[in-house]
Amino acid sequence: MPNLGHCKCCGDKVSSEAASCPHCGQPEPYDDKWKYVAELLQQGDKVNAVKYVRESTGLGIREAINFVEKNFTRTS
């Protein structure tokens, strides 16, 4: 069964079985490291989730916060 994860290039949601990202075209886009970010957020630890994104991507603080909010925050 495929897992839903995040593209290692653009960060948008992608299936673990996708040959390329439907958003940016990155080949073999699925990246399991974002699963750790999701786990941190489920535990209510947004600070360390943003810190992990910054360390993994080199993004600045504002960009990392935006990345986490765009890709991991569920809207109802």
Query: How does DSSP assign 16-51, residue by residue?
Result: TT-SB-TTT--BS-EETHHHHHHHHHHTT-HHHHHH
pLDDT surpassing 50 at residue 1:
yes
Of 13-17, 42-46, 55-59, give the range with the top mean pLDDT. 42-46
Domain edges within the chain: 1-30, 32-76
pLDDT surpassing 70 at residue 75:
no
Question: What's the count of helices (H) and strands (E) in the chain, helices before strands?
Answer: 3, 3
pLDDT in tens, 27-52: 888 877 778 888 899 999 999 999 99
